[in-house]
């Protein structure tokens, strides 16, 4: 499902990732979409993935390609299904010829007390936020990266990969798991030109967070503003949401040659939350 192929040129200061190919899971919305845009702006071809309305996804794809002059394709792979993930990686390698930057971003959330946590929600969160997406994509991307002696694996974890909050058992378990997987991948690839790092955002205003705001306002009979101030940003000392553009800029840096010595880290982007 590729669209126009434009000359990407050689890497330069303004387009450090020219000639590279990036795959961002869960990039039809929120943080993943912001990261995909940032990678494209830095000159990388991009493979989008995620759910949504087909016509809107096609528009997003055309828009990114037109704005940044890079080739953009889309995979509808469901991150709970190993075989569709394998097809996505194979289509990337066939269609684009390489895979340099893998951003494991797709994720969902569900909030409930531990003893009432629905088993199917636990399974879905572990599957999308940890097992299927991260293990399968990373496992399948590594051979191509090893062949090129270059790779950047960037896992979008969370502040909840470093600390816990009540009622988020599955999410916190999955995100701590990603931080562990990041370290293992970094150690196993350290001499091969490949790095693996986790980005650990605090709250970023996206549809995923909007759903929590609406849900908590309804559950507790309080206003959206109260939820934002007293529940969400109460954790975040700088009292502001991080932006998808900030996460995009960090991802581009981690994908660049300048970040070659940074591997195995879990980088908080949380306004000081985990400094407590």
Query: What is the maximal distance between C-alpha atoms in the chain?
Result: 56
Residue placing its CB nearer to ligand NAD in the complex, 65 or 129: 129
CA distance 224 to 141: 41
CA distance 129 to 135: 10
Q: Where are the beta strands (DSSP E) in the chain?
A: 21-24, 45-49, 72-75, 101-104, 151-156, 194-201, 266-269
Residue 171: active-site member:
yes
CA distance 46 to 54: 18
Is 102 within 8 Å of 143 (Cβ atoms)?
no
> Percent helix, strand and coil across the chain, each rounded to 5?
50, 15, 35
CA distance 161 to 138: 18
Q: SS3 sequence, 76-122?
A: CCCCCCHHHHHHHHHHHHHHHCCCCEEEECCCCCCCCCHHHCCHHHH
Q: How far is the CB of 107 from ligand NAD (least distance, A)?
A: 2
Applying CB under 6 A, which residues contact ligand NAD?
A: 26-32, 49-52, 78-80, 105-108, 128-129, 156, 158, 201, 203-204, 206-209
CA distance 243 to 35: 11
Quick check: helix, strand or coil at residue 201?
strand
Residue placing its CB nearer to ligand NAD in the complex, 148 or 217: 217
Q: How far is the CB of 191 from ligand NAD (least distance, A)?
A: 29
Residue placing its CB nearer to ligand NAD in the complex, 166 or 207: 207
Q: How far is the CB of 178 from ligand NAD (least distance, A)?
A: 9
Q: How far is the CB of 230 from ligand NAD (least distance, A)?
A: 17
Which among 74, 110, 171, 203 is annotated as catalytic? 171
Q: How far is the CB of 5 from ligand NAD (least distance, A)?
A: 24
CA distance 77 to 88: 6
Q: Phi, psi (5° rounding) for residue 28? A: -90, 0
Q: First and final CA of the chain: distance in angstroms?
A: 46
Q: How far is the CB of 13 from ligand NAD (least distance, A)?
A: 29
Active site residues: 171
């Amino acid at each position: 499902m590729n669209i126009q192929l434009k000359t990407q040129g050689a890497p330069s200061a303004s387009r450090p990732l020219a000639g590279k190919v990036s795959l961002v899971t869960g990039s039809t919305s929120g943080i993943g979409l912001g990261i995909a845009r940032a990678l494209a702006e830095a000159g990388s071809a991009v493979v989008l993935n995620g759910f949504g309305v087909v016509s809107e996804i096609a528009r997003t794809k055309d828009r990114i390609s037109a704005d940044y002059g890079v080739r953009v394709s889309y995979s509808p792979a469901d991150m709970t299904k190993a075989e569709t993930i394998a097809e996505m990686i194979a289509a990337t390698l066939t269609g684009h010829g390489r895979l340099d930057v893998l951003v494991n971003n797709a994720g969902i959330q569900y909030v409930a007390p531990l003893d009432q946590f629905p088993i199917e929600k636990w399974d879905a969160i572990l599957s999308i936020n940890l097992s299927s997406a991260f293990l399968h994509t990373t496992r399948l991307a590594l051979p191509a990266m090893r062949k090129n002696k270059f790779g950047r694996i960037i896992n979008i974890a969370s502040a909840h990969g470093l600390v816990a909050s009540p009622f988020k058992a599955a999410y916190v378990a999955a995100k701590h798991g990603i931080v562990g997987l990041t370290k293992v991948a970094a150690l196993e690839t350290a001499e091969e030109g490949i790095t693996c790092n986790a980005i650990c955002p605090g709250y970023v205003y996206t549809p995923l967070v909007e759903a929590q705001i609406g849900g908590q306002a309804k559950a507790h009979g309080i206003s959206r503003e109260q939820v934002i101030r007293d529940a969400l940003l109460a954790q975040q000392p700088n009292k502001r949401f991080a932006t998808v553009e900030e996460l995009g800029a960090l991802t581009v840096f981690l994908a660049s040659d300048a970040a070659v010595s940074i591997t195995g880290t879990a980088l908080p982007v949380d306004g000081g939350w985990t400094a407590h």
